[in-house]
Amino acid sequence: MPRITRVIKTAQVAGLAIAMFGMGLSPAQAQRRRSSAEKAAPKLSAAELSAAQKGSEPINVLTRDGVYLTGRFWKPDESNKETPVVMLLHMRGRDQNDWAPYARYLCDKGFAVATFDFRGHGDSKQVNPDQYVSPRDALRGMRRPSSDNRVERIDEETEFRNGRELAMLVNDIDAIKEFLIEQNNAGRINVQRLGVVAGGPMASALATHFAAREYASERGWVKTGGDLATLILISPTLNYSGLTAVSDFDKSKRDEERLPVFIVSNDDRSEKKSADQLRRKLWVPFLGKGGKASGRDRPESGMMLVKSKKSGSDLFRPPVENVDELIHGYLHNRLVDKRSFQWRQRTKEEDAGGGFGSQR
């Protein structure tokens, strides 16, 4: 039996490790280090990218606020109404290609996978000039572009300067979710078996905001009609450039109704301290030997540390301490083994929602 299977069967969560955290850099220093690390990445060769993308399909969608997003969709050969789906979110200053090898890996394991370039990144820099409003103008209450502020292209380095402006990128996740609902209705996947893996602090913060839309935070992140079945945060932080991760939920709610959250961090002092701050806010336990958590058990969630200086999706290239297998095992545990997800046809009315700067 593979090691990851044994871990999940005994601990009900993929290989968790307990560790103490120490003093790190100042918040400003740590933020600068994380931002630099996010943008410095090894590029895949053309051959590596081609091999990883083989058999995938292009995604081209328009967000509710006028941004053209480019992505890719992998699905197993035998995909059907029971097929789980995973959305992989890339780090800031990077693009979806970072995740291509792992998307291929998950697809070969039976998962459908969606990746995409966040607005201002990669190939998602074109906007509809008749619809798109810059973050600064949107925050001032503007809902339509005026004749003197129309643009056709945007770039993340100049367009998104702080957390309030970065929050608009949640609309991109919503747009890919709408694409997945179309795939669900075509019988190619079951969108209720949805997992999100966020690589890096920006993507992790955005993922928690998306989760808050799927779950009602005022009711304790109890599922209220959304599809998100699990959330995996790689190298997260409680606050990224003013974009604060959503972490408010009522601890009195039943554990089995909570959104399962899994956190992965390296053992660098500043990163693990930041991740641990979010872990505590999310009420996610470290699990010690034998799968025992301190305090009240919440076996569907947990945090693991890996011995590395890499962060975010770089932990998967090449995989550090079998993190690729561990995350696959956790996804299988949450999206395939543990829950009953009855496929159903979706309607636009039930899935319509207003995002930041929504034009609906």
Q: What is the average pLDDT across 117-143?
A: 94
Annotated domain spans of the chain: 3-124+165-341
Report, at the CATH architecture level, how domain 3-124+165-341 is classified: 3-Layer(aba) Sandwich (3.40)
> First CA to last CA across the chain, in angstroms?
51
pLDDT at 90 over 70: yes
Other Cβ atoms within 10 Å of 267 Cβ, number: 14
Dist. CA 25–CA 272, nearest whole Å = 11
Q: How confident is the model at residue 212 (pLDDT cuts 50, 70, 90)?
A: confident
The answer, yes or no, to whether the previous bond of 201 is cis (omega within 30 of 0) is: no
- Among 263, 341, 245, 328, residue whose Cα is nearest residue 302: 263
DSSP string, 70-106: EEEEE--TT--TT--EEEEEPPTT--GGGGHHHHHHH
pLDDT at 222 over 90: no
Looking at per-residue pLDDT, the higher value among 188 and 287 belongs to 188
pTM of the full structure: 0.84
Average pLDDT of the chain?
A: 81
Strands across the sheet containing 228-234: 57-62, 68-74, 112-116, 85-89, 194-199, 228-234, 261-266, 302-306
